[in-house]
Amino acid sequence: MPSRITPRQYSQAVLEHVQTGAYPESEDVISAELPPSALPEVSKLIEQAREDVKVGIRKASRDSAPDIDGWISQAKQLRVDIQKSQHVAREIVEQARQGERLEEQVNDAASKVGLLNGEVAFNKSLGATLERLQAMQRTLNLVQRAIFDGRSMEAVEWLGQVEGELDSTPLPRSTGVAGILGAKVTDLRNDLVEKLTDCWKAYICVDRARSSIKIIPSLNDSSTMDIQTLVAAMAKLQLLENVLLPFCKDLEMLVVAPRLQVRADGKVGTLEIDGDEMKVFGQSSDLSAEALFSDLDSIIDFLRARLPSSVVEPLAEHLMPRLISRLISAWLASAVPEDLDGMEDFQVTMSLIQNFGKSLDSYNWPGKRELVEWTRSIPNVWLRKRQETSLNQIRKLLSKGVGTIETVERVETQVLSRHDEVFASNGGGDDWNAGWSDDESGSPTKPHQPSNSNATQGEDEEDVSAWGLDDEKESGAGQDDQEKPATADDDADAWGWGDENDGEESKKASPSSQSNRKTIRSNGLAGTPEQAEREVTLKETYNITSLPKEILEMITRIVSDAEKLESSDLANSPISSAAPNLLSLPGLVLAMYRASASTSYASHASGSMFLYNDSLWLAERLQQLGSPHITRSGKHIQSRTAHNLNLEAHVLALESYGKRAYAKEMESQRTIITDLLDGAQAFVHCTEHPFNQECDIAIASTVDRLRGLHKQWKDVLSHSALLQSLGSLLSTVTNKIVVDIEDMSDISEPESQQLTAYCNRIAALEVLFLPTPQPPTDPPAAAQARAQSDEQNPVPLTALYAPHWLKFQYLASILESPLVDIKYLWTEGELGLEFDTEELVDLVVALFADTPHRRGAVAEIRGRRGVR
Q: What is the pLDDT of residues 453-487, one digit of tens each?
A: 333 333 333 343 333 334 333 333 333 333 333 33
Which pLDDT score, from 0 to 100, does residue 177 have?
Answer: 67
Kindly report the number of other CB atoms within 10 A of residue 850's CB atom: 9
More confident residue, 212 or 524: 212
pLDDT digits (tens, 9 = 90+) for 12-38: 788 877 877 777 777 777 777 778 877
Whether residues 280 and 416 share a domain: the answer is no
Predicted confidence (pLDDT) at residue 825 exceeds the cutoff of 80: yes
Predicted confidence (pLDDT) at residue 659 exceeds the cutoff of 90: yes
Q: Is the dihedral of CA 781, 784, 790, 792 positive or negative?
A: negative
Structural domains in the chain (count): 5
Give the end of a domain, one of 165, 198, 231.
198
Which pLDDT score, from 0 to 100, does residue 671 have?
Answer: 94
Residue 144 lies in a domain: yes
Q: What percent of the chain has pLDDT over 70?
A: 74
Residue 368 lies in a domain: yes
Q: Of the ranges 103-112, 154-163, 330-339, which one carries the lowest mean pLDDT score?
A: 154-163
Whether residues 672 and 550 share a domain: the answer is no
Average pLDDT over residues 438-466: 37
Whether residues 709 and 833 share a domain: the answer is yes
Cβ 730 vs Cβ 802: under 8 Å: yes
Predicted confidence (pLDDT) at residue 452 exceeds the cutoff of 90: no
Which pLDDT score, from 0 to 100, does residue 175 have?
Answer: 66
Work out the pLDDT band at 568, boundaries 50, 70, 90.
Answer: low
Average pLDDT over residues 180-193: 74
Whether residues 683 and 585 share a domain: the answer is no
Predicted confidence (pLDDT) at residue 571 exceeds the cutoff of 90: no
Torsion of CA 742, 746, 748, 753, to 10 degrees: -10
Which pLDDT score, from 0 to 100, does residue 706 have?
Answer: 93
Q: Which residues on adjacent β-strands are paired with residue 407?
A: 543
Q: Which residues on adjacent β-strands are paired with residue 460?
A: 451
Average pLDDT over residues 419-435: 40
Average pLDDT over residues 278-300: 86
pLDDT digits (tens, 9 = 90+) for 44-64: 888 888 888 888 887 877 777
Predicted confidence (pLDDT) at residue 256 exceeds the cutoff of 50: yes
Q: How far apart are CA 438 and CA 494, in angstroms?
A: 9
Give the containing element (helix H, strand E) for 715: none
Residue 396 lies in a domain: no
Q: Of the ranges 394-408, 436-450, 528-542, 720-734, which one carries the lowest mean pLDDT score?
A: 436-450
DSSP H helices, 743-836, are 749-763, 780-792, 798-801, 805-816, 819-827
Provide the b/e sequence for 708-742 (b: ≥16 CB within 10 Å).
Answer: ebbeebeebbbbbbbbbbbbbbbbbbbbbbbbbbb
Strand ranges in 198-276 using DSSP code E only, listed in sequence order? 204-207, 212-215, 268-274
Q: Of the ranges 210-214, 329-333, 570-574, 644-648, which one carries the lowest mean pLDDT score?
A: 570-574
Give the end of a domain, one of 599, 633, 652.
652
Whether residues 54 and 126 share a domain: the answer is no
Average pLDDT over residues 839-844: 90
Residue 470 lies in a domain: no
Strand ranges in 622-677 using DSSP code E only, listed in sequence order? 631-632, 635-636
Predicted confidence (pLDDT) at residue 506 exceeds the cutoff of 50: no
Residue 390 lies in a domain: no
Cβ 445 vs Cβ 478: under 8 Å: yes
Provide the b/e sequence for 552-587 (b: ≥16 CB within 10 Å).
Answer: bebbbebbbbbbbbbeeebeebbbeebbebbbebbb
Average pLDDT over residues 212-218: 82
Q: Of the ranges 173-187, 743-757, 814-828, which one carries the lowest mean pLDDT score?
A: 173-187
More confident residue, 525 or 182: 182
More confident residue, 508 or 388: 388
Burial class (CB in 10 A: 0-12, 13-18, 19+), 481: exposed
Which pLDDT score, from 0 to 100, does residue 570 have?
Answer: 63
Q: How far apart are CA 728 and CA 443, in angstroms?
A: 14
Whether residues 93 and 43 share a domain: the answer is no
Residue 455 lies in a domain: no
Predicted confidence (pLDDT) at residue 401 exceeds the cutoff of 60: yes
Residue 444 lies in a domain: no
Instruction: Kindly report the CATH number assigned to the domain that includes residue 734.
Output: 1.10.357.150
Whether residues 799 and 855 share a domain: the answer is yes
Q: How far apart are CA 476 and CA 494, in angstroms?
A: 9
Q: Of the ranges 53-62, 449-458, 703-712, 803-812, which one carries the lowest mean pLDDT score?
A: 449-458
Please compute, for residue 635, the number of CA atoms within 13 A of its CA located in the half-sphere on the CB side: 12
Average pLDDT over residues 270-292: 85
- Which segment, 226-235, 530-539, 803-812, is predicted with the most confidence on average? 803-812
CA angle 173, 177, 179 (to 5 degrees): 40
Q: Phi, psi at residue 427, to the nearest 5°?
A: 70, 35
Nearest to 543 by CA among 726, 720, 722, 715: 715
Which pLDDT score, from 0 to 100, does residue 530 have?
Answer: 44
Q: Phi, psi at residue 413, to the nearest 5°?
A: -110, 130
Which pLDDT score, from 0 to 100, does residue 626 have?
Answer: 67
More confident residue, 252 or 519: 252
3-state class (DSSP) for residue 777 = coil
Work out the pLDDT band at 210, boundaries 50, 70, 90.
Answer: confident
Whether residues 685 and 832 share a domain: the answer is yes
Whether residues 263 and 149 share a domain: the answer is no
Which pLDDT score, from 0 to 100, does residue 672 have?
Answer: 94
Whether residues 753 and 708 share a domain: the answer is yes
Q: Of the ranges 430-434, 770-774, 853-857, which one carries the lowest mean pLDDT score?
A: 430-434
Whether residues 630 and 499 share a domain: the answer is yes
Whether residues 629 and 534 share a domain: the answer is yes
Residue 256 lies in a domain: yes
Average pLDDT over residues 240-263: 86
Nearest to 813 by CA among 829, 801, 837, 800: 829
In terms of residue numbers, what domain contains 317?
A: 239-376
Give the end of a domain, one of 166, 198, 230.
198
Average pLDDT over residues 725-752: 90
Which pLDDT score, from 0 to 100, does residue 136 have?
Answer: 73
Which pLDDT score, from 0 to 100, does residue 674 have?
Answer: 92
Q: How far apart are CA 409 and CA 51, in angstroms?
A: 156
**How large is the angle between the packed helices 691-713 and 749-763, nearest 10 degrees?**
10
Work out the pLDDT band at 532, boundaries 50, 70, 90.
Answer: low
Which pLDDT score, from 0 to 100, does residue 270 have?
Answer: 87
Q: Phi, psi at residue 623, to the nearest 5°?
A: -65, -40
Average pLDDT over residues 75-86: 87
Which pLDDT score, from 0 to 100, does residue 520 have?
Answer: 31
- DSSP 8-state code for residue 604: S
Which pLDDT score, from 0 to 100, does residue 468 have?
Answer: 37
